[in-house]
Amino acid sequence: MHRTVLSCVLRGHGPGDAAAEVLMKKMLTTVEAVLDASGTRDNEKRGYAAHWWKNYLLLCDWLPNEDRIQIRGPTYAFLHQSVYGAAAKQAGKKLSYKTWMSCKAEGLVLVAALLPGSDPKRLKASRSARHSKCATTLM
C-alpha cells in the first residue's frame, strides 16, 4: 500500500484523489439521472414525446378558470399511430403507446410555463365531454 501511495504522489496525485474520484463518480450518476414530471428517468425519446405533447396541448382549448386544457378531436390511439408515430418514426424516437401517454405529464409542465397564470401542479388535460351530441348544421 505504501508503494502505491508513494507512486501516486510521485506522479502528481494526492492521497485523497482516489476518494475524490469515487465521490465524483457518485455525484455524476446522480446528476445525470434527470427525472421528468412523471418521476421517470428522462432520455432523448421521452424528451421528444414531451415536446410533441407540449406543441399539441398548445393547440387545444385552454380554460384558465378551471386550470385545464380541453382536448378535442381524434382519439389518442389515432394521434399515437398517425400523427406522433409518423414524425417520431422518421426521427428514430418512437415510443410505445403507454410510454408516450406517460410523457403527457411532462408536456403539461412545459405548457404551464408558457401559459400566463397557470400553475404546473394544478394544470390538467382531459378529453371533452361527449354527452352533447347535438346535431350541428352548417350555414
pLDDT of residue 131: 59
Q: pTM, whole model, 2 decimals? A: 0.67
pLDDT of residue 83: 93
What are the structural domain ranges in the chain? Answer: 2-32, 44-127
CA angle 95–99–102, rounded 5-degree value: 135
pLDDT of residue 134: 55
| Residue 99: C-alpha distances to residues 45, 70, 92, 93, 139 (Å) | 10, 21, 15, 12, 43
Question: Cβ–Cβ contacts within 10 Å for residue 53, how many?
Answer: 24
pLDDT in tens, 32-63: 666 666 666 668 888 899 999 999 999 999 98
Indicate the pairing of strand 61-63 with strand 68-71.
antiparallel
pLDDT of residue 10: 80
pLDDT per residue, tens digit, the chain (139 aa), is: 677 777 777 877 776 777 777 777 877 777 666 666 666 666 888 889 999 999 999 999 998 888 999 998 899 999 999 999 999 999 999 999 999 999 999 999 999 999 888 888 899 998 877 655 555 555 4
pLDDT of residue 14: 73
